[in-house]
Amino acid sequence: MPKEPQDRLELLQGTLDMLILRTLLFGPAHGHQIAKHIQRTTDEVLQVEHGSLYPALHRLERKGWIAAKWEAAGKDLKREFKYYRLTAAGKRQLLAEESKWKQLTGAIARIMWPVEEQ
């Protein structure tokens, strides 16, 4: 069941880029597949709107972290989708982003749930 607008979580700046790179680690995908993967994997908590997704994809492509190619849509040779794939630079960036994410979430967790000193 989709979340109500007031129940939706806002992503921290840069988090969407990391989620897109992580999704493409599994292989090439078009924009709708990427958005659906993020939505399904997060049990519908994160829903990426096209107005956020496509600017992010274009930004990642400009940075050289992903590459795009138009391909026929399966058996329907009259339709094409733009498939995105992770580049070697994108894989390196993903590792860097994962490291920063672990640091950030660890720091926030220490503030939210401090360990009692003895």
Length of the chain: 118
CATH 3.90.550.10 fits 7-111, yes or no: no
The band of 3, judged by pLDDT with boundaries at 50, 70 and 90, is low
**pLDDT digit string, tens, across residues 98-118:** 999 999 999 999 999 998 766
The band of 5, judged by pLDDT with boundaries at 50, 70 and 90, is low
**Of 11, 93, 87, residue with least CA distance to 53:** 11
Q: Residue 13 has what DSSP assignment?
A: T
Beta-strand pair 66-73/76-86: antiparallel
Q: Is the pLDDT of residue 1 over 60?
A: no
**pLDDT digit string, tens, across residues 27-68:** 999 999 999 999 999 999 999 999 999 999 999 999 999 999
Q: Two tokens at 30?
A: 């078009």
Q: How many other β-carbons are positioned within 10 Å of the β-carbon of residue 111?
A: 7
Classify the phi-psi angles of 43: left when phi > 0, otherwise alpha if psi is within -120 to 50, otherwise beta.
left
Phi and psi at 23, nearest 5°, equal: -60, -40
pTM of this prediction? Answer: 0.86
Helix (H) or strand (E) holding 72: strand 66-73
Q: Where are the domains of the chain?
A: 7-111
Q: Are 10 and 47 in contact (CB under 8 A)?
A: no
